[in-house]
Chain A
Amino acid sequence: MSLRNAAYIAGAFEHPTRLAPDKTTPQLHAECAAGALADAGLSLADVDGYFCATDAPGFGPISMVDYLGLKVRHTDSTEMGGCTYIQHVAHAAEAIAAGKCKVALITLAGRPRSENVMRFRPGAPESAFEQWVGLTNHTSYGMCAVRHMHEFGTTSEQLAWIKVAASHHAQHNEHAMLPKVVSVEDVLESPMIADPLHRLDCCVTTDGGGALIVVAPEIAKTLNRPMIALRGAGEATKGPSGGLGLDLTVSAAARSGPAAFAEAGVTPADIKYASIYDSFTITVLIQLEDLGFCAKGEGGKFVADGNLISGTGKLPFNTDGGGLCNNHPMFRGGITKVIEAVRQLRGEAHPAVQVPNCDLAVATGIGGSLGARHGAATVILERQS
Protein backbone atom coordinates (compact mmCIF):
# COMPACT_ATOMS: atom_id res chain seq x y z
CA MET A 1 0.00 0.00 0.00
CA SER A 2 1.22 3.50 -0.78
CA LEU A 3 0.04 6.74 0.80
CA ARG A 4 0.20 8.52 -2.54
CA ASN A 5 -3.10 10.38 -3.00
CA ALA A 6 -4.51 8.61 0.07
CA ALA A 7 -5.36 11.97 1.66
CA TYR A 8 -5.49 15.70 0.99
CA ILE A 9 -4.73 18.71 3.15
CA ALA A 10 -7.95 20.73 2.96
CA GLY A 11 -7.39 23.17 5.81
CA ALA A 12 -4.38 24.95 7.27
CA PHE A 13 -4.24 27.68 9.89
CA GLU A 14 -1.38 29.42 11.67
CA HIS A 15 -2.42 31.34 14.75
CA PRO A 16 -1.43 35.00 14.31
CA THR A 17 -0.40 35.45 17.95
CA ARG A 18 3.22 35.28 19.02
CA LEU A 19 2.50 36.28 22.65
CA ALA A 20 -0.66 35.09 24.39
CA PRO A 21 -0.69 36.07 28.08
CA ASP A 22 -4.48 36.38 28.05
CA LYS A 23 -5.36 32.96 26.63
CA THR A 24 -5.06 29.39 27.82
CA THR A 25 -3.22 26.71 25.91
CA PRO A 26 -6.40 24.64 25.29
CA GLN A 27 -8.04 27.83 24.05
CA LEU A 28 -5.24 28.30 21.52
CA HIS A 29 -5.75 24.71 20.35
CA ALA A 30 -9.46 25.45 19.91
CA GLU A 31 -8.81 28.68 18.01
CA CYS A 32 -6.40 26.88 15.71
CA ALA A 33 -8.91 24.08 15.13
CA ALA A 34 -11.61 26.63 14.28
CA GLY A 35 -9.28 28.45 11.92
CA ALA A 36 -8.28 25.33 9.99
CA LEU A 37 -11.87 24.09 9.78
CA ALA A 38 -13.03 27.46 8.44
CA ASP A 39 -10.20 27.38 5.92
CA ALA A 40 -11.36 23.95 4.73
CA GLY A 41 -15.05 24.90 4.75
CA LEU A 42 -15.82 22.25 7.36
CA SER A 43 -17.14 22.33 10.92
CA LEU A 44 -16.34 20.59 14.21
CA ALA A 45 -19.15 18.10 13.55
CA ASP A 46 -17.35 16.89 10.41
CA VAL A 47 -14.21 15.87 12.30
CA ASP A 48 -13.98 12.13 12.94
CA GLY A 49 -10.27 11.83 13.67
CA TYR A 50 -8.09 13.86 16.08
CA PHE A 51 -4.31 14.08 16.30
CA CYS A 52 -2.33 15.82 19.04
CA ALA A 53 0.99 15.47 20.87
CA THR A 54 2.35 16.35 24.30
CA ASP A 55 1.88 20.08 23.78
CA ALA A 56 -1.84 19.33 24.25
CA PRO A 57 -2.49 19.77 27.96
CA GLY A 58 -3.96 17.04 30.12
CA PHE A 59 -4.52 13.46 29.09
CA GLY A 60 -3.82 13.84 25.38
CA PRO A 61 -6.80 13.19 23.10
CA ILE A 62 -8.96 12.17 26.07
CA SER A 63 -8.81 15.69 27.48
CA MET A 64 -8.74 17.53 24.18
CA VAL A 65 -11.50 15.68 22.33
CA ASP A 66 -13.79 16.42 25.25
CA TYR A 67 -12.63 20.06 25.56
CA LEU A 68 -13.04 20.73 21.85
CA GLY A 69 -16.43 19.02 21.71
CA LEU A 70 -15.39 16.51 19.07
CA LYS A 71 -17.04 13.19 18.30
CA VAL A 72 -14.30 11.09 16.75
CA ARG A 73 -13.77 7.43 15.94
CA HIS A 74 -10.00 7.67 15.66
CA THR A 75 -7.29 9.35 17.77
CA ASP A 76 -3.50 9.42 17.55
CA SER A 77 -1.11 11.02 20.03
CA THR A 78 2.16 10.09 18.35
CA GLU A 79 4.96 12.16 19.86
CA MET A 80 8.20 12.92 18.02
CA GLY A 81 9.08 16.40 19.25
CA GLY A 82 8.82 19.36 16.92
CA CYS A 83 8.40 17.36 13.71
CA THR A 84 5.41 15.45 15.11
CA TYR A 85 2.82 17.36 13.08
CA ILE A 86 4.52 16.52 9.78
CA GLN A 87 4.37 12.89 10.88
CA HIS A 88 0.73 13.37 11.89
CA VAL A 89 -0.14 14.27 8.29
CA ALA A 90 1.18 10.89 7.18
CA HIS A 91 -0.45 9.06 10.06
CA ALA A 92 -3.76 10.76 9.27
CA ALA A 93 -3.41 9.55 5.68
CA GLU A 94 -2.73 6.04 6.96
CA ALA A 95 -5.85 6.16 9.13
CA ILE A 96 -7.92 7.53 6.23
CA ALA A 97 -6.58 4.84 3.87
CA ALA A 98 -7.50 2.21 6.46
CA GLY A 99 -11.03 3.57 6.69
CA LYS A 100 -10.65 4.71 10.30
CA CYS A 101 -11.61 8.35 9.66
CA LYS A 102 -12.34 10.75 6.81
CA VAL A 103 -11.72 14.20 8.33
CA ALA A 104 -8.65 14.40 10.58
CA LEU A 105 -7.88 17.43 12.73
CA ILE A 106 -4.27 18.03 13.85
CA THR A 107 -3.58 20.75 16.44
CA LEU A 108 -0.49 22.24 18.05
CA ALA A 109 -0.40 25.12 20.54
CA GLY A 110 1.52 26.37 23.53
CA ARG A 111 2.63 29.42 25.47
CA PRO A 112 6.34 29.08 26.29
CA ARG A 113 6.66 32.88 26.59
CA SER A 114 3.70 33.19 28.95
CA GLU A 115 3.98 30.18 31.24
CA ASN A 116 6.63 27.82 32.55
CA VAL A 117 6.61 24.85 30.24
CA MET A 118 7.84 21.49 31.55
CA ARG A 119 10.33 20.15 29.00
CA PHE A 120 12.24 17.51 30.96
CA ARG A 121 10.74 14.04 30.65
CA PRO A 122 11.42 12.10 33.85
CA GLY A 123 12.21 8.41 33.70
CA ALA A 124 14.04 8.42 30.36
CA PRO A 125 16.65 5.64 30.42
CA GLU A 126 19.41 8.11 29.59
CA SER A 127 18.48 10.59 32.34
CA ALA A 128 21.03 9.55 34.97
CA PHE A 129 23.82 9.72 32.38
CA GLU A 130 22.95 12.96 30.68
CA GLN A 131 20.95 15.22 32.97
CA TRP A 132 24.02 16.44 34.86
CA VAL A 133 25.77 17.22 31.57
CA GLY A 134 23.54 20.27 31.26
CA LEU A 135 22.82 19.57 27.61
CA THR A 136 20.47 22.11 26.06
CA ASN A 137 19.41 22.30 22.45
CA HIS A 138 22.08 24.98 21.97
CA THR A 139 24.99 22.71 22.89
CA SER A 140 23.36 19.66 21.27
CA TYR A 141 23.01 21.34 17.88
CA GLY A 142 26.26 23.21 18.54
CA MET A 143 28.16 19.90 18.74
CA CYS A 144 26.65 18.89 15.37
CA ALA A 145 27.79 22.15 13.83
CA VAL A 146 31.29 21.87 15.30
CA ARG A 147 31.64 18.35 13.90
CA HIS A 148 30.25 19.38 10.50
CA MET A 149 32.76 22.24 10.35
CA HIS A 150 35.57 19.87 11.33
CA GLU A 151 34.74 17.25 8.70
CA PHE A 152 33.66 19.44 5.79
CA GLY A 153 35.04 22.92 6.37
CA THR A 154 31.60 24.43 6.82
CA THR A 155 31.81 28.02 8.10
CA SER A 156 29.80 30.30 10.37
CA GLU A 157 29.34 32.62 7.39
CA GLN A 158 27.65 29.83 5.44
CA LEU A 159 25.36 29.01 8.37
CA ALA A 160 24.51 32.70 8.67
CA TRP A 161 23.22 32.74 5.09
CA ILE A 162 20.37 30.50 6.23
CA LYS A 163 19.22 33.15 8.71
CA VAL A 164 19.71 35.87 6.12
CA ALA A 165 17.46 34.04 3.65
CA ALA A 166 14.78 33.47 6.31
CA SER A 167 14.87 37.16 7.22
CA HIS A 168 14.42 38.18 3.59
CA HIS A 169 11.17 36.21 3.62
CA ALA A 170 10.04 37.35 7.08
CA GLN A 171 10.06 41.02 6.06
CA HIS A 172 6.89 40.31 4.06
CA ASN A 173 5.11 38.51 6.93
CA GLU A 174 3.12 40.92 9.09
CA HIS A 175 3.00 38.38 11.92
CA ALA A 176 6.72 37.52 11.93
CA MET A 177 8.44 37.74 15.29
CA LEU A 178 11.63 39.07 13.63
CA PRO A 179 10.58 40.93 10.46
CA LYS A 180 13.87 42.80 10.01
CA VAL A 181 16.25 41.78 7.23
CA VAL A 182 19.63 40.79 8.66
CA SER A 183 23.05 40.42 7.08
CA VAL A 184 25.71 37.75 7.49
CA GLU A 185 27.61 40.26 9.63
CA ASP A 186 24.56 40.78 11.86
CA VAL A 187 24.45 37.04 12.55
CA LEU A 188 28.17 36.75 13.23
CA GLU A 189 28.15 39.80 15.52
CA SER A 190 25.20 38.58 17.60
CA PRO A 191 26.20 37.09 20.97
CA MET A 192 27.59 33.55 21.04
CA ILE A 193 25.11 31.22 22.75
CA ALA A 194 26.85 27.85 22.40
CA ASP A 195 29.85 27.48 20.09
CA PRO A 196 29.53 27.96 17.14
CA LEU A 197 25.89 29.07 17.27
CA HIS A 198 25.16 32.76 17.73
CA ARG A 199 21.86 34.16 18.96
CA LEU A 200 20.80 34.75 15.35
CA ASP A 201 21.59 31.13 14.44
CA CYS A 202 18.70 30.20 16.75
CA CYS A 203 14.96 30.16 16.10
CA VAL A 204 12.52 32.42 17.90
CA THR A 205 10.50 31.39 20.94
CA THR A 206 6.81 32.10 20.48
CA ASP A 207 3.40 31.50 21.95
CA GLY A 208 0.88 30.32 19.40
CA GLY A 209 0.07 27.28 17.35
CA GLY A 210 -1.52 25.91 14.24
CA ALA A 211 -3.86 23.29 12.89
CA LEU A 212 -4.33 21.15 9.79
CA ILE A 213 -7.31 19.34 8.29
CA VAL A 214 -6.44 16.15 6.40
CA VAL A 215 -9.34 14.58 4.49
CA ALA A 216 -10.20 11.58 2.35
CA PRO A 217 -10.08 12.13 -1.45
CA GLU A 218 -13.86 11.99 -1.80
CA ILE A 219 -14.21 14.75 0.85
CA ALA A 220 -11.50 16.90 -0.76
CA LYS A 221 -13.38 16.85 -4.08
CA THR A 222 -16.50 18.30 -2.43
CA LEU A 223 -14.63 21.26 -0.90
CA ASN A 224 -14.03 24.52 -2.65
CA ARG A 225 -10.27 24.41 -1.98
CA PRO A 226 -7.22 23.55 -4.08
CA MET A 227 -6.44 19.83 -4.03
CA ILE A 228 -3.22 19.42 -2.01
CA ALA A 229 -2.33 15.72 -2.06
CA LEU A 230 0.03 13.80 0.14
CA ARG A 231 2.32 12.19 -2.41
CA GLY A 232 4.88 10.51 -0.16
CA ALA A 233 5.96 10.31 3.47
CA GLY A 234 8.80 9.01 5.57
CA GLU A 235 9.81 8.94 9.21
CA ALA A 236 12.82 7.80 11.20
CA THR A 237 14.54 8.10 14.56
CA LYS A 238 18.23 8.23 15.41
CA GLY A 239 20.33 8.29 18.55
CA PRO A 240 23.80 7.39 19.81
CA SER A 241 22.43 3.82 20.26
CA GLY A 242 25.17 2.62 22.53
CA GLY A 243 27.81 5.01 21.30
CA LEU A 244 29.35 3.06 18.39
CA GLY A 245 29.59 4.80 15.03
CA LEU A 246 28.37 8.15 16.33
CA ASP A 247 27.95 10.57 13.41
CA LEU A 248 26.57 13.99 14.32
CA THR A 249 26.75 15.22 10.72
CA VAL A 250 23.88 12.96 9.61
CA SER A 251 20.29 13.18 10.89
CA ALA A 252 17.35 10.80 10.82
CA ALA A 253 16.19 12.82 7.78
CA ALA A 254 18.73 10.76 5.80
CA ARG A 255 16.15 7.97 6.09
CA SER A 256 12.83 9.85 6.33
CA GLY A 257 13.66 11.97 3.28
CA PRO A 258 14.62 9.23 0.80
CA ALA A 259 11.64 7.16 1.99
CA ALA A 260 9.29 10.05 1.22
CA PHE A 261 10.87 10.73 -2.19
CA ALA A 262 10.73 7.04 -3.07
CA GLU A 263 7.05 6.78 -2.19
CA ALA A 264 6.31 9.96 -4.15
CA GLY A 265 8.35 8.81 -7.16
CA VAL A 266 10.09 12.18 -7.42
CA THR A 267 13.56 13.53 -6.68
CA PRO A 268 14.83 16.66 -4.91
CA ALA A 269 15.39 18.23 -8.35
CA ASP A 270 11.60 18.15 -8.91
CA ILE A 271 10.84 20.16 -5.73
CA LYS A 272 9.71 23.75 -6.30
CA TYR A 273 9.52 24.81 -2.65
CA ALA A 274 11.01 23.37 0.57
CA SER A 275 9.87 23.82 4.17
CA ILE A 276 12.92 22.80 6.18
CA TYR A 277 12.75 22.63 9.98
CA ASP A 278 14.88 25.46 11.27
CA SER A 279 15.33 25.29 15.03
CA PHE A 280 18.89 26.41 14.28
CA THR A 281 20.72 27.26 11.07
CA ILE A 282 22.67 23.99 11.27
CA THR A 283 19.39 22.03 11.40
CA VAL A 284 18.56 23.29 7.91
CA LEU A 285 21.99 22.62 6.47
CA ILE A 286 22.13 19.00 7.65
CA GLN A 287 18.60 18.24 6.43
CA LEU A 288 19.29 19.73 2.99
CA GLU A 289 22.16 17.28 2.64
CA ASP A 290 20.22 14.38 4.10
CA LEU A 291 17.28 14.92 1.74
CA GLY A 292 19.65 14.94 -1.19
CA PHE A 293 19.41 18.58 -2.29
CA CYS A 294 23.21 18.44 -2.24
CA ALA A 295 25.88 15.91 -1.29
CA LYS A 296 26.91 15.38 2.33
CA GLY A 297 29.39 18.09 3.22
CA GLU A 298 28.28 20.43 0.42
CA GLY A 299 25.51 22.10 2.45
CA GLY A 300 27.64 25.14 3.28
CA LYS A 301 28.22 25.96 -0.38
CA PHE A 302 24.59 25.18 -1.19
CA VAL A 303 23.09 27.68 1.25
CA ALA A 304 25.62 30.47 0.69
CA ASP A 305 25.04 33.62 -1.32
CA GLY A 306 21.28 33.67 -0.92
CA ASN A 307 20.56 30.37 -2.64
CA LEU A 308 17.56 29.78 -0.33
CA ILE A 309 15.92 33.17 -1.04
CA SER A 310 12.71 32.97 -3.02
CA GLY A 311 12.92 34.63 -6.42
CA THR A 312 16.70 34.65 -6.68
CA GLY A 313 17.97 31.41 -5.11
CA LYS A 314 17.68 27.92 -6.57
CA LEU A 315 15.73 26.46 -3.65
CA PRO A 316 13.18 28.79 -2.02
CA PHE A 317 12.79 27.70 1.60
CA ASN A 318 10.65 28.75 4.57
CA THR A 319 9.02 31.66 2.76
CA ASP A 320 7.04 32.62 5.88
CA GLY A 321 10.33 33.42 7.61
CA GLY A 322 10.43 29.98 9.24
CA GLY A 323 11.20 29.28 12.85
CA LEU A 324 14.32 31.40 12.51
CA CYS A 325 12.34 34.61 12.01
CA ASN A 326 8.59 34.05 11.95
CA ASN A 327 7.20 31.52 14.40
CA HIS A 328 8.28 28.45 16.39
CA PRO A 329 5.23 27.92 18.59
CA MET A 330 5.76 25.84 21.73
CA PHE A 331 9.38 25.20 20.59
CA ARG A 332 7.88 23.18 17.74
CA GLY A 333 8.17 24.14 14.09
CA GLY A 334 6.56 21.11 12.44
CA ILE A 335 3.08 22.40 11.82
CA THR A 336 4.20 25.76 10.44
CA LYS A 337 6.38 23.89 7.95
CA VAL A 338 3.33 22.11 6.54
CA ILE A 339 1.20 25.27 6.64
CA GLU A 340 3.62 27.34 4.54
CA ALA A 341 4.03 24.46 2.07
CA VAL A 342 0.23 24.40 1.68
CA ARG A 343 0.18 28.18 1.12
CA GLN A 344 2.84 27.85 -1.57
CA LEU A 345 1.03 24.99 -3.32
CA ARG A 346 -2.24 26.92 -3.27
CA GLY A 347 -0.56 30.08 -4.54
CA GLU A 348 -1.55 31.81 -1.29
CA ALA A 349 1.93 32.73 -0.05
CA HIS A 350 2.84 36.42 0.10
CA PRO A 351 3.25 37.63 -3.52
CA ALA A 352 6.80 38.74 -2.79
CA VAL A 353 7.82 35.17 -1.92
CA GLN A 354 5.31 33.06 -3.89
CA VAL A 355 7.08 30.50 -6.05
CA PRO A 356 5.66 30.56 -9.60
CA ASN A 357 3.73 27.43 -10.61
CA CYS A 358 4.50 25.75 -7.31
CA ASP A 359 3.02 22.28 -7.74
CA LEU A 360 5.43 20.13 -5.73
CA ALA A 361 6.76 20.85 -2.24
CA VAL A 362 8.51 19.09 0.61
CA ALA A 363 8.04 19.69 4.32
CA THR A 364 10.61 18.06 6.57
CA GLY A 365 11.47 18.31 10.21
CA ILE A 366 13.55 17.18 13.15
CA GLY A 367 12.11 16.55 16.61
CA GLY A 368 13.99 16.12 19.85
CA SER A 369 17.70 16.78 20.15
CA LEU A 370 19.80 16.49 16.98
CA GLY A 371 23.02 15.89 18.90
CA ALA A 372 21.47 13.32 21.23
CA ARG A 373 18.38 11.40 20.09
CA HIS A 374 15.84 12.72 17.64
CA GLY A 375 13.17 11.89 15.12
CA ALA A 376 12.59 13.09 11.58
CA ALA A 377 9.49 13.26 9.42
CA THR A 378 9.17 14.21 5.76
CA VAL A 379 6.15 14.68 3.50
CA ILE A 380 6.01 15.41 -0.22
CA LEU A 381 2.92 17.44 -1.13
CA GLU A 382 1.47 18.01 -4.57
CA ARG A 383 -1.11 20.40 -5.97
CA GLN A 384 -3.54 18.62 -8.27
CA SER A 385 -6.14 20.16 -10.52
Chain B
Amino acid sequence: MSDRKLPAPQPNVETQEFWDAASNGVLKIKRCGDCNQAHYYPRAICPHCGSANTAWIETAGSGEIYSVSVMRRGEGAPFAVAYITLDEGPAMMTNIVADDLDGLAIGQRVELVFTPTEDGAPPVPMFTPRGG
Protein backbone atom coordinates (compact mmCIF):
# COMPACT_ATOMS: atom_id res chain seq x y z
CA MET B 1 0.00 0.00 0.00
CA SER B 2 1.35 3.38 -0.94
CA ASP B 3 1.28 6.28 1.47
CA ARG B 4 -0.77 8.36 -0.95
CA LYS B 5 -2.87 10.92 0.90
CA LEU B 6 -6.53 10.41 -0.04
CA PRO B 7 -8.77 13.48 -0.22
CA ALA B 8 -11.94 13.07 1.84
CA PRO B 9 -14.99 12.50 -0.35
CA GLN B 10 -17.61 15.25 -0.05
CA PRO B 11 -21.08 13.71 0.39
CA ASN B 12 -24.13 15.64 -0.79
CA VAL B 13 -27.87 15.06 -0.61
CA GLU B 14 -27.69 12.87 -3.71
CA THR B 15 -24.94 10.62 -2.35
CA GLN B 16 -25.18 10.79 1.47
CA GLU B 17 -26.54 7.24 1.76
CA PHE B 18 -23.61 5.88 -0.26
CA TRP B 19 -21.12 7.40 2.17
CA ASP B 20 -23.12 6.44 5.26
CA ALA B 21 -23.06 2.83 4.01
CA ALA B 22 -19.35 3.11 3.29
CA SER B 23 -18.76 4.14 6.91
CA ASN B 24 -20.51 0.87 7.85
CA GLY B 25 -18.40 -1.22 5.48
CA VAL B 26 -21.07 -1.63 2.79
CA LEU B 27 -20.81 -0.70 -0.89
CA LYS B 28 -24.18 0.53 -2.14
CA ILE B 29 -25.07 1.40 -5.71
CA LYS B 30 -28.39 2.32 -7.26
CA ARG B 31 -30.88 0.35 -9.30
CA CYS B 32 -33.74 1.76 -11.34
CA GLY B 33 -37.24 0.52 -10.56
CA ASP B 34 -38.36 1.20 -14.14
CA CYS B 35 -35.62 -0.11 -16.45
CA ASN B 36 -34.30 -2.44 -13.73
CA GLN B 37 -30.67 -1.56 -14.52
CA ALA B 38 -28.05 -0.66 -11.94
CA HIS B 39 -25.67 2.27 -12.21
CA TYR B 40 -22.51 3.68 -10.63
CA TYR B 41 -21.66 6.38 -9.53
CA PRO B 42 -25.09 6.87 -7.92
CA ARG B 43 -27.50 9.53 -9.16
CA ALA B 44 -31.02 10.58 -8.16
CA ILE B 45 -32.14 10.12 -11.78
CA CYS B 46 -31.36 6.91 -13.68
CA PRO B 47 -28.75 7.61 -16.41
CA HIS B 48 -30.08 4.69 -18.47
CA CYS B 49 -33.71 5.75 -18.80
CA GLY B 50 -34.23 9.06 -17.00
CA SER B 51 -36.50 7.68 -14.31
CA ALA B 52 -36.48 9.18 -10.81
CA ASN B 53 -37.55 5.79 -9.49
CA THR B 54 -34.09 4.77 -8.31
CA ALA B 55 -33.32 2.84 -5.11
CA TRP B 56 -30.19 1.89 -3.20
CA ILE B 57 -29.02 -1.74 -3.28
CA GLU B 58 -26.24 -3.40 -1.33
CA THR B 59 -23.59 -5.00 -3.49
CA ALA B 60 -21.78 -8.22 -2.68
CA GLY B 61 -18.54 -6.24 -2.88
CA SER B 62 -17.01 -8.47 -5.52
CA GLY B 63 -16.18 -8.25 -9.19
CA GLU B 64 -13.39 -8.56 -11.71
CA ILE B 65 -10.77 -6.28 -13.20
CA TYR B 66 -11.88 -4.68 -16.49
CA SER B 67 -8.64 -2.72 -16.92
CA VAL B 68 -5.81 -1.54 -14.69
CA SER B 69 -2.88 0.85 -14.99
CA VAL B 70 -0.19 1.27 -12.35
CA MET B 71 1.01 4.84 -11.85
CA ARG B 72 4.79 4.65 -11.57
CA ARG B 73 5.79 8.28 -11.03
CA GLY B 74 4.85 11.15 -8.76
CA GLU B 75 3.34 11.46 -5.32
CA GLY B 76 2.31 8.20 -3.67
CA ALA B 77 3.47 6.04 -6.59
CA PRO B 78 3.22 3.21 -7.28
CA PHE B 79 -0.54 2.77 -7.07
CA ALA B 80 -3.06 0.97 -9.27
CA VAL B 81 -6.01 2.70 -10.97
CA ALA B 82 -8.62 0.32 -12.32
CA TYR B 83 -12.13 -0.27 -13.50
CA ILE B 84 -13.82 -3.13 -11.65
CA THR B 85 -16.90 -4.72 -13.19
CA LEU B 86 -19.12 -5.38 -10.19
CA ASP B 87 -21.05 -8.64 -10.09
CA GLU B 88 -24.20 -6.46 -10.08
CA GLY B 89 -23.26 -5.13 -13.54
CA PRO B 90 -21.82 -1.63 -13.46
CA ALA B 91 -18.12 -0.90 -13.78
CA MET B 92 -16.57 1.44 -11.24
CA MET B 93 -13.33 3.38 -11.27
CA THR B 94 -11.29 2.67 -8.16
CA ASN B 95 -7.90 1.62 -6.84
CA ILE B 96 -6.60 -1.91 -6.33
CA VAL B 97 -4.61 -2.50 -3.18
CA ALA B 98 -2.06 -5.31 -3.51
CA ASP B 99 1.47 -6.19 -2.48
CA ASP B 100 2.22 -7.25 -6.06
CA LEU B 101 0.91 -4.54 -8.37
CA ASP B 102 2.79 -6.10 -11.30
CA GLY B 103 0.67 -9.24 -10.97
CA LEU B 104 -2.68 -7.50 -11.53
CA ALA B 105 -4.44 -8.57 -14.71
CA ILE B 106 -7.68 -8.12 -16.60
CA GLY B 107 -10.26 -10.72 -15.56
CA GLN B 108 -8.80 -11.22 -12.11
CA ARG B 109 -11.39 -11.60 -9.31
CA VAL B 110 -11.27 -8.89 -6.65
CA GLU B 111 -13.12 -8.05 -3.45
CA LEU B 112 -14.01 -4.86 -1.64
CA VAL B 113 -11.69 -3.30 0.90
CA PHE B 114 -12.53 0.07 2.38
CA THR B 115 -9.61 2.42 2.87
CA PRO B 116 -9.63 5.28 5.40
CA THR B 117 -9.34 8.88 4.20
CA GLU B 118 -9.20 11.77 6.63
CA ASP B 119 -10.28 11.64 10.29
CA GLY B 120 -14.05 11.80 10.57
CA ALA B 121 -14.57 11.42 6.81
CA PRO B 122 -16.00 8.29 5.17
CA PRO B 123 -13.63 5.61 3.84
CA VAL B 124 -13.45 4.93 0.10
CA PRO B 125 -14.22 1.63 -1.66
CA MET B 126 -11.11 0.02 -3.09
CA PHE B 127 -10.52 -3.59 -4.12
CA THR B 128 -7.93 -6.27 -3.54
CA PRO B 129 -7.27 -9.58 -5.32
CA ARG B 130 -9.46 -12.34 -3.90
CA GLY B 131 -7.52 -14.38 -1.37
CA GLY B 132 -4.69 -11.88 -1.67
| Bound together | yes
A376 to B72, CA, bound (A): 28
A246 touches B9 (CB 8 A): no
Which residues of A sit under 8 angstroms from B4, Cβ to Cβ? 134
A-chain residues with CB within 8 Å of residue B85 when the two chains form the complex: 246
* Interface 9-mer from A32-40, A122-130, A255-263, A342-350: A122-130
In the complex, whether B24 has a CB less than 8 A from a CB of chain A is no
Distance of B67 from chain A, by nearest CB (Å)? 4
Q: How far is the CB of A141 from chain B (nearest CB, A)?
A: 8
**In the complex the two chains form, what is the Cα distance from A146 to B92 in whole Å?**
17
Contact B39 A194 (CB under 8 A): no
Across chains A and B, the number of contacting residue pairs, with CB separation under 8 Å, is 126
Q: Which residues of A contact B117 (CB under 8 A)?
A: 132
Cross-chain contact A192 with B72 (CB below 8 angstroms): yes
Q: Residue A130 contacts which of B14, B37, B82, B93 (CB distance < 8 angstroms)?
A: B93
A142 within 8 A of B: yes
Q: How far is the CA of A196 from the CA of B9 in the complex (A)?
A: 29
B104 closest partner in A (C-beta): A195
- Within the complex, the shortest CB–CB distance from A150 to chain B, in Å, comes to 5
Chain A, range 128-146, C-beta contacts under 8 Å to B: 128-136, 138-140, 142-146
Give every chain B residue within 8 A of A246 (Cβ-Cβ): 66, 83, 85, 91
Q: Write the nearest CB–CB distance from B13 to chain A, whole angstroms.
A: 12
Q: A356 at the A/B interface (Cβ < 8 Å)? A: no
* B93/A147 in contact, CB under 8 A: no
Is the beta-carbon distance between A132 and B41 smaller than 8 angstroms?
A: no
**Cβ-neighbour of B95 out of A134, A142, A241 (below 8 A):** A134
Number of interface residues of B (CB under 8 A): 45
Among candidates B43, B73, B81, residue contacting A135 with C-beta atoms closer than 8 Å? B81
Distance in angstroms between the alpha carbons of A192 and B7 in the assembled complex: 26
A143 touches B83 (CB 8 A): yes
Given A139-B81, A193-B72, A194-B69, A242 contacting B6 (CB threshold 8 A): no
In the complex, A248 has a CB within 8 A of chain B:
yes
- Please, what's the 1-or-0 string for A172-201, where 1 marks a CB less than 8 Å from any CB in chain B? 000000000000000000011111110000
For A311, what are the chain B residues with a Cβ–Cβ distance below 8 Å? none
Among A130, A132, A194, A244, contact of B71 (Cβ-Cβ < 8 Å): A194
Tell which of A127, A139, A193 has the most Cβ of chain B within 10 Å.
Answer: A139
Least CB distance, B15 to chain A, in whole angstroms: 6
B19 to chain A, nearest CB (A): 8
On whether the beta carbons of A143 and B7 are closer than 8 Å, the reply is no
- Residue contact A128 to B81, C-beta cutoff 8 Å: no
Contact of A248 among B48, B73, B83 (CB under 8 A): B83
Chain A positions 95-140 with a Cβ under 8 Å from a chain B Cβ: 125-136, 138-140
B33 in the interface (beta carbon within 8 A): no
The reply to whether A143 and B41 contact each other, CB–CB distance below 8 Å, is no
Chain B CB within 10 Å, residue with most, of A125, A134, A144: A134
Identify which of B9, B71, B94 contacts A131 (C-beta below 8 A).
B9
Question: What residues of chain B have their CB less than 8 Å away from a CB belonging to chain A?
Answer: 4, 6-7, 9-12, 14-15, 19, 37-41, 43, 46-48, 66-74, 76, 79, 81-83, 85-86, 89-95, 106, 117, 124
Residue contact B9 to A138, C-beta cutoff 8 Å? no
Closest to B73 in A: A193
Whether the Cβ atoms of B93 and A372 lie closer than 8 Å is yes
Residues from chain B with Cβ under 8 Å of A139 in the complex? 69-71, 81
* Alpha-carbon gap, A139 to B79, bound state (A): 10
Q: CA–CA, A246 to B72, complex, Å?
A: 25
Asked if A142 contacts B69 (CB within 8 A), the reply is yes
A244 and B95 contact, CB distance less than 8 A: no
Known A143-B67, A143-B68; judge A131-B7 contact (CB<8 A): yes
A195 touches B72 (CB 8 A): yes
A126 touches B41 (CB 8 A): yes
Is there contact, CB below 8 Å, between B93 and A128? no
A265 smallest CB distance to B (angstroms): 35
Most interface-central of A143, A243, A372 (chain B CB within 10 A): A243
Measured CB to CB, the closest approach of chain B to A139, in angstroms, equals 4
Give the complex CA separation of A151 and B4 in angstroms: 31
Residue of B nearest to A199 (CB): B73
Residue of B nearest to A126 (CB): B41
Which of the listed residues B40, B41, B124 has the most CB atoms from chain A within 10 Å of its own CB?
Answer: B41
B49 to chain A, nearest CB (A): 10
B11 contacts A146, C-beta separation under 8 Å: no
Q: Report A-chain residues with C-beta under 8 Å of the C-beta of B82.
A: 143
